[in-house]
Amino acid sequence: MKTVVVGATGLVGQEILKVMEERNFPYDELYLVASARNVGKEIAFKEKRYTIISMEEACNLAADVAIFSAGGSTSLEWAPRFADKGTTVIDNSSAWRMDPSKKLIVPEINGHVLRIDDRIIANPNCSTIQMVMVLAPLHVRYKLRRIVVSTYQSVTGTGKDGVQQLMNERQGLEGSKVYPHPIDMNALPHIDVFLDNGYTKEEMKMVHETRKILGDASVGVTATTVRVPTIGGHSEAVNAEFHSEFDLDEVRELLDGTPGVVVMDDVKNNVYPMPILSQGRDEVFVGRMRRDESQPKTLNLWIVADNLRKGAATNAVQIAEYMMENSLVIS
């Protein structure tokens, strides 16, 4: 089993390697790819040193699985070339998510739609993953009508440069900036570029990806995404309206029994999800569950997850594991 990790030196790439080690991901040969300037450098992984190779060299290996985390333009150029060699590509960028010929997968929700001829598989946006992990089982039970979501997203979602800007500002140091305004002691209602409709690409990703993963284009979704000076993970305030009436105790019981979801909902003892608690964890945490008293059949939730883990690396590795476990990888 030959496995390739593309973008191995980035925040998500490093997290992918960490997750692979923790989960004892099965491979016989591992190859690491990064930008051209890093080719020839070495990375230590599981008490062994690996030399960074080029995209061309990795592609020609005809590996069984390649996990991409190197940006949309790289994926658009190289994923089809890897796929033509028979490699199953799991892509973390937005390049293939809304392509109707490509599957957009959260294994716990829609892994069953994967087939052996799926050579390019899209990993959803981090904010979408954590939201649908909680809402999917509720959609099955009560059927969603409309979702209103506001996010509070970690600087880690911007990568190493976002973290560096925050740390520089916190220490009073000059340095390169990836945000148009200071991020420390601030909140920026601006993630990705603004579109003609006044929304950002990040906000519209949540709209379109949620519908695709749930397999229901009738669900109304509106989003406001905000960058905040946190490290541990993304937080979301979600207002979900259903077609059917729900019972709060039943909602808690349903989510408590959902794999990958942890209920933290004891406000009397100040127990609720926070980014600082989610850092380094694979689970999606949900709390502050309460009825919307302004209209019927509507639920408020607070959802938190480490965006580098379940929001990116862990979900991608889980997709690869699912493909292997179900004999969907051509080896």
Residue ranges per structural domain of the chain: 2-124+312-325, 127-307
pLDDT band at residue 102 under the 50/70/90 scheme: very high
Cβ atoms of 151 and 223 within 8 Å: the answer is: yes
Q: Is 131 helix (H, G, I), strand (E, B) or coil?
A: helix
| CATH code of domain 2-124+312-325 | 3.40.50.720
Q: Which of 50, 101, 57 is nearest to 81 (CA)?
A: 57
Quickly tell me which residue has 């950002």 as its tokens: 200
- Sheet strands (E) in 162-242: 220-227, 234-242
What is the Cα–Cα distance from 284 to 158, expressed in whole angstroms? Answer: 20
If phi over 0 gives left and psi between -120 and 50 gives alpha, with beta otherwise, what is residue 176? beta
CB atoms within 10 A of CB 17: 22
Give pLDDT tens digits for 284-315.
999 999 999 999 999 999 999 999 999 999 99
- Assign 330 a pLDDT band (cuts: 50, 70, 90): confident
In sequence order, which residues have a C-beta less than 8 Å from that of residue 218 and are 6 or more positions away? none
d(CA 80, CA 194): 29
Do residues 88 and 64 make contact, with C-beta atoms less than 8 angstroms apart?
yes
Q: Is 59 a catalytic residue?
A: no
For this structure, is 126 an active site residue? Answer: yes
Using the CB atoms, write b or e for 285-305: b if 16+ within 10 Å: bbbebeeeeeeebbbebbbbb
Q: Which residues contact 172 (CB under 8 A, 6 or more apart)?
A: none
Q: Which pLDDT value is given to residue 331?
A: 66
| Confidence tier at 270 by pLDDT (50, 70, 90) | very high
Number of Cα atoms under 13 Å in the Cβ half of residue 20: 23
Give me the architecture of the 127-307 domain, per CATH.
Answer: 2-Layer Sandwich (3.30)
Q: Percent of the chain having pLDDT more than 70?
A: 100
Residue 292 near residue 298 (C-beta atoms within 8 A): yes
Catalytic hit among 59, 190, 234, 243: 234
Nearest alpha carbon to residue 105 among 118, 121, 81, 86: 121
Annotated catalytic residue, options 112, 126, 139, 190: 126
DSSP state of 102: S
Average pLDDT of the chain to the nearest whole number: 97
Q: In percent, how much of the chain has pLDDT > 90?
A: 98
Check pLDDT > 90 for residue 215. yes
User: Average of pLDDT values for 154-180?
Assistant: 96
Q: Which two tokens stand for residue 254?
A: 């349903």
